[in-house]
Amino acid sequence: MFARSVVAAFVAAPLLAQVAFAASCARQYTVKEGDWCDTISAANNASTYQLAVVNSAIDNVCDNLQVGQTLCLGTEGEDCQTTHVVQPNDSCDLVTGTYNINATLLHTNNPQVDADCTNLYIGEVLCVANTVAVPAVASGSATPAIIIPATATPVSTTASPVQTSTSAAATETVSADDDEDLPFCDEL
Ligand SMILES: *[C@@H]1O[C@H](CO)[C@@H](O)[C@H](O)[C@H]1NC(C)=O
Ligand SMILES: *[C@@H]1O[C@H](CO)[C@@H](O)[C@H](O)[C@H]1NC(C)=O
Ligand SMILES: *[C@@H]1O[C@H](CO)[C@@H](O)[C@H](O)[C@H]1NC(C)=O
């Protein structure tokens, strides 16, 4: 009898952990064949950054989704559902003007977008809410969704070229300048 209740206690712990996750997750999504992070984001009004920050199990290049896997699209109280899918020739000015928000808010809700807005790519999903709506980057962590997918197309020919070697070199320079620890850079 004693041994049996010990086993029951071991089983109960992971179940409780799951319930805690479900309570804070506002919306869930089940991965289907052919899904890709940005298509899930676009279809469900969950920004590129939000999907990445909420689902830390998804890797930098979104190539480890499993059919049937449950993703959280947004957490309670920090679930931005006002989104914009980046189009050819979009710019941050165009986006902020269209949705009547300021650049500070655009960058707070989309921390993967660089200060000069040179790294937008077609199909990226931005949170364009008029309040701060997404979870912050955890302190000491790399910004989720900051890695541009290798297949991404920049919004215009004047935007930074999307090349792994170029972005790795650029990131290394930044890293050397401010001593930030960005372990993923070495893996590119
Ligand atoms: C996404 O937002 C658009 C615009 O507000 C809305 O028309 C659409 O129904 C929303 N889709 C989902 C899945 O919430
Ligand atoms: C984007 O801008 C370029 C250069 O101004 C123009 O040739 C092209 O037609 C534009 N594309 C779209 C989809 O507006
Ligand atoms: C940007 O907009 C937000 C929300 O309206 C506001 O709280 C903030 O003060 C604005 N920031 C600037 C720099 O205008």
Q: What is the full DSSP assignment across 48-102?
A: HHHHHHH-TTS-TTS----TT-EEEEEETTB----EEE--TT--HHHHHHHHT--
- Report if residue 152 sits inside a domain: yes
In a domain, 22, yes or no: no
- Determine if ligand 1 sits within 6 Å of the CB of residue 44: yes
Give phi and psi for 102, each to the nearest 5.
-95, 165
Residue nearest to atom 13 of ligand 3 (CA): 104
Under a CB-based contact definition with an 8 Å cutoff, are residues 120 and 158 in contact? Answer: no
- For residue 21, being part of any structural domain is answered with no
Rounded to the nearest angstrom, the distance between the alpha carbon of 104 and the centre of ligand 3 is 7
Max distance between CA atoms of the chain, in angstroms, equals 71
Partners of 126 in the β-ladder: 84
**Structural domain includes residue 163:** no
Ligand 3 centroid–CA 184 distance in Å is: 33
Global pTM reads 0.76
Tally of domains in the chain: 1
Dihedral of the CA atoms 22, 23, 26, 30 (nearest 10)?
Answer: 10
Can you tell me which atom of ligand 2 is nearest the CA of 89?
Answer: 1
Range of the domain at 83: 27-157
Residue 105 CA to ligand 3 centre (angstroms): 7
Residue 32 lies in a domain: yes
Give pLDDT tens digits for 125-161.
999 999 999 999 988 989 999 999 888 999 975 544 4
pLDDT in tens, 51-64: 999 999 999 889 99
pLDDT at 166 over 90: no
Look up the CATH number of the domain holding residue 108.
3.10.350.10
Q: Whose CA is nearest to atom 1 of ligand 2?
A: 89
Residue 170 domain flag: no
pLDDT, one tens digit per residue, over 4-21 is: 433 333 434 444 444 444
Q: Ligand 2 within 6 A of 68 CB?
A: no
